Amino acid sequence: MTRKIRLQKPGNDRLRDRFERELNPAQLAAATAPDGFNLILAGPGSGKTRVITYRVAYLIARGVKPEAIMLVTFTRRAAREMVSRLEGLIGPKAVKVWAGTFHHIGNRILRKSAKAVGYDPNFTILDGEDQRDLVRLAMEDAGLVGTGRFAPKPAAVQHLISFAFNVKRPLAELVAERHPDWFDWTEQVVAAAACYARRKRASNCMDYDDLLGLWKTLVEEHPEHRSAMGRMFRHLLVDEMQDTNIVQVELVEAIARAGAGNLTAVGDDAQSIYRFRGAHYDNILRFPDRNPGARVFRLETNYRSTPEIVAFTNASIARNSAGFPKTLVSAREGGPRPVVVATADAFEEADLICQQVLEWREAGIGLSRMAVLYRNHHDSILLQGELTQRGIPYTVRSGVRFFEQAHIKDVLAYLRVQANPRDEPAWARLLPLLPGIGPAKSASLRAFLLASDSPMAALETSEAMKLVPAKSRGEFAALVADLRSIRAADPESNPSEAILAVLRGGYPAIAKAKYENPDQRLADVEQLSVLAARYDSLDKFVADLLLAGDVYGMDSLGEEAEPDGEQLVLSTIHQAKGLEWSRVIVPRLVEHGFPGDRALAEPGGEDEERRVFYVAVTRAMDELWLTYPLMVSRPGQGSILTTPSRFITEVDPDLYEVADIESENDLAWTEGPRP
């Protein structure tokens, strides 16, 4: 029976009709929930955004002032979309709603109340680069300088300070847990954090965390401001509750309790995948426990995916040990079951994906309606190479395209000077990797090397060493030794071994000193060596990469879209959250890869990885393909047999099809669980 809604203000007949016409019973119940604490569990494709906007429209139609409503979203894009939809329902007054991210709203509030927390209202917000610069000065204040290339770097220290704030844990504890190599500098790191805070305050500057922390200070330590916010915001709505951290959830719940006690949290515990950023799973899971009497609404009708895909996703997430019980039901017509394909190796997997993409395109499916979603960015490397070779346009949503990343350019510079010792752009990239060699010293060295008959021989002379600052001569000697070792690996006929020689030399230390996420970057380089294993010529390997898009600045072939703008989407699963495609392929589904060993070693890690898998498979609307190689190559270990991911083997085999590759570009369908 359709629930009749009551709207207090006159002239709302049209809006009432839209509610009853455009919302299903579960959506209508959630959108028109009574005042108080409400939790709306919105499964994938269940119309979450529609329910939130209708909820706000319902409150305003009942007489709640738009400016008395706070709508917190995960991204600015989501806020803009909701306000736009709200305007279509209630008109221009929609813009009066306090809609935005936590940081956006915190900034608005602190502009009015900065004096209470020791700031002037004209405070400056520091961007990422500003934060790192100030942390660098704070590290100098704390004596955290001159301790070698393995010492903490400003970007890493800034990241750890921020993470400690967002998870509300002592910084020293996190140093021991996440950076045990910093143990001898623990006191200085803690002192640097304090110096950083003092410098921000002295400069009347706030970073992003301050926009939350000082807003929370207003609520917790200033009763008059807490009461004022309680009176100001009669209703609070939080989208993507599962992605909030502990600071954020404590903040909104405190404001709600200080006021009318009206908080609507919307999200899906099964899509909580941002623990690495400080998101706290219990924020949504324990919402009813923290707020006794809270009502729970479930949106379980899926409008995105076919019944076959929904059945598979239900079976997968049901294996998690914790979470709200839910069973999604598709509102669509039936389609094919998900497909599982095992390939001989990762190269055949990339070939299979390209072939399937081409078949879908021949069937009239645009490339932009397809996506390949992977757990780790480096899982896309072989695929990017194959797509480039085949001329299939693609776009990467998981960061910079592989061949354009700084660390890949670095390693290619080691190879380029082997192939062509007169390659000045390669020397211009390679030499400044050494500490103490800036543009001027690099230019002098390049001029000396290129003026000689044999740049490699000139590099090893005492004359070259004299051009290097005294403090950098040890690192320069190490570079000379590394280039000698790379030559000994016979790069001309074995580029893969040459890349491994780079990894055995000083480059890992350079990467750790120069870049954030060095372990991930070095894993990328390992995958580059796997890709290079297909070549028996260094010249051809380097040429193919450069023709795929010059890593020193030319336009990339893969970035050239077709005339109609169609490009295949490559994305990490985390970047794909909230999006959807007609066809989705999830590759590299092997144990020790997805789920990964590091995640499995952490408490709750398997459940978190399964939620990541759940997000991936729920992006598919019409067809879902899951692939895995039977063998992978690992540098230094050769070819290793794999086992399929538990995320495949634990699902009832009746819920998917198995396809065998009988011959090149030829799939045969079989029944039953091949994995």
Q: Which amino acid is at 249?
A: V
3-class state of residue 445 by DSSP: helix
Residue 165, H or E segment: helix 154-167
Residues 582 and 369 sit within 8 Å (Cβ to Cβ): yes
Q: What is the CA radius of gyration of the chain?
A: 28
Cβ atoms 174, 159 nearer than 8 A = no
Joined together, the tokens standing for residue 288 give 């009813």
Known binder of ligand: residue 42? yes
* Tokens encoding 657: 């099809």
What is the Cβ-side half-sphere exposure of residue 305, based on CA atoms within 13 angstroms? 32
CA dist 393 and 562 (Å) reads 7
Length of the chain counted residue by residue: 675
Q: Which of 470, 519, 466, 528 is nearest to 496 (CA)?
A: 528
Tell whether 47 is in a known binding site: yes
Q: Which two tokens stand for residue 564?
A: 């109609």
Phi, psi of 282 (to 5 degrees): -65, -15
* DSSP string covering 536-591: S-HHHHHHHHHHTB-TTSSPBGGG---TT---EEEEEHHHHTT--EEEEEE---BT
663 has binding-site annotation: no
Dihedral (CA of 478, 484, 487, 489) sign: negative
Token duo for residue 277: 């950023």
Supply 468's token pair.
């290097």
Report yes or no: 635 and 526 within 8 Å, Cβ to Cβ: yes
Neighbours of 596 (CB within 10 A): 15
Number of CB atoms found within 10 A of residue 283's CB: 24
Lookup result for tokens 């709505």: 237
Q: Are strands 581-586 and 339-343 parallel, antiparallel or unpaired?
A: unpaired
**Is 49 annotated for ligand binding?**
yes
Listed in order, strand segments (DSSP E) in 344-487 are: 370-374, 394-396
368 labeled binding residue:
no
Which residues, 6+ apart, have CB-to-CB distance to 222 below 8 Å? 116
Q: Residue 352: how many CB atoms within 10 A of its CB? A: 25
- CA distance linking residue 669 with residue 291, whole number of Å: 51
Question: Which amino acid, 675?
Answer: P
Cβ contact 229:258 at 8 Å:
yes
Spatial separation of the C-alpha atoms in residues 463 and 456, rounded to whole Å: 13
Is 43 assigned a ligand-binding role in the annotation?
yes
Which amino acid does the sequence have at 78? A
Classify residue 549 as left (phi > 0), alpha (psi -120 to 50) or beta. left
What is the residue-wise DSSP string for 11-73? Answer: S-HHHHHHHHHHS-HHHHHHHTPPSSEEEEEE-TTS-HHHHHHHHHHHHHHTT--GGGEEEE-
Cα–Cα separations (whole angstroms), residue 474 to 316, 434, 435: 54, 10, 10
- Residue bearing tokens 């002098």: 444
Antiparallel, parallel or unpaired: β 631-634 and 638-641: antiparallel
Binding residues for ATP: 42-49
Binding residues: 42-49
